[in-house]
Amino acid sequence: MYKIVSKQEVGLKVQSYEIYAPEIAKNAKAGQFIIFRIDDKGERVPLTIVSTNPQEGLVRIIFQETGKSTEHLASLCKGDCIRDFVGPLGHPTEIKKYGTVIAVAGGVGVAEVLPVIKVLRKVGNKIITVVGARSKDLIILENELRQESDLLLFATNDGTYGVRGFVTDVLRDIISKEKSDMMYVIGPVSMMQAVAELTREKRIHTLVSLNPIMLDGTGMCGACRVTIDGKMKFACVDGPEFNGHSVNWEELVSRLALFKDLEKISVNKFKNEQEHKCYRK
């Protein structure tokens, strides 16, 4: 069992937890993730490792309440325990001095970008961070991003903070004025695809951290398979980071849509069964 040592709300239905998991804290690196399961009947859910404290054995995770498992996790309190907390999983980010790195985060992807830019800056890279969100009230971890960025810019759909529009609008302006040596992108698939298409034209090396459906985290189930350069890869063991210009985005979008449709069918079936039980009573 893994104890929740601290709990903090960092945004609208966004929680930051510190979990006591000393082995993971000792071995985790930027770009890796864990898979948690609340109890014996819970589903397996992957989350990025935001930071670690090896001395105290703590692993920080940040998540948004978007479904049954994350809502259940958010209902727990400091001192409660969860059944499984497995990691570190996936390949860590390759850390070296590129020069100028532009990090792009959409929504809660900020939590995944933060540990990467922290270590990239530590080895001497200039960090420009671009954050996209629907509105200002959905932006998280701004102060932490400022500490690790040489320049921090925002784009919001409604114009309540930063540029009105999308991260690609901000990126076009940046890359027209300044040489970029590497782009690191994490967020909604549509955003990552749009950024990858933009940087392809400019021939900017672009890493994307993919988030397909994932179950066991060991490559055995095959749920997280993606096509990279025409070859099948598993995001959990071969990734989660890949060259954004090599991803078969259409296939990834199609597979995610399929799983969402199946999820809706499952939820509706459960609701119908419950209603039927009530009717029989």
Domains: count for the chain:
3
**Residue 200, domain CATH:** 3.40.50.80
Q: What pLDDT is attached to residue 21? A: 97
Residue type, 217: G
CA distance 180 to 172: 11
- Considering the domain architecture, whether residues 205 and 95 belong to the same structural domain is answered as yes
- Considering the domain architecture, whether residues 95 and 85 belong to the same structural domain is answered as no
Residue where one domain finishes, among candidates 179, 209, 239: 209
> 93, exposed or middle or buried, with CB in 10 Å at 0-12, 13-18, 19+?
buried
CA distance 132 to 168: 9
How far apart, in Å, are the Cα atoms of 251 and each of 31, 185, 200, 223? Answer: 23, 19, 19, 13
- Considering the domain architecture, whether residues 122 and 195 belong to the same structural domain is answered as yes
Q: Domain range for residue 97?
A: 91-209
Residue where one domain finishes, among candidates 89, 119, 136: 89
- Considering the domain architecture, whether residues 120 and 78 belong to the same structural domain is answered as no
Question: What are the pLDDT tens digits along the chain (281 aa)?
Answer: 899 999 999 998 999 999 999 999 999 999 999 999 999 888 889 999 999 999 999 999 999 988 888 999 999 999 999 999 999 999 999 999 999 999 999 989 999 999 999 999 999 999 999 999 999 999 999 999 999 999 999 999 999 999 999 999 999 999 999 889 999 999 999 999 999 999 998 899 999 999 888 887 777 888 888 999 999 999 989 989 999 999 999 998 888 886 554 444 333 443 444 444 444 44
Q: What pLDDT is attached to residue 267? A: 36
Residue where one domain finishes, among candidates 89, 107, 134: 89
- Considering the domain architecture, whether residues 280 and 237 belong to the same structural domain is answered as yes
- Considering the domain architecture, whether residues 194 and 145 belong to the same structural domain is answered as yes
CA distance 238 to 25: 22
**Residue 45, domain CATH:** 2.40.30.10
- Considering the domain architecture, whether residues 163 and 216 belong to the same structural domain is answered as no
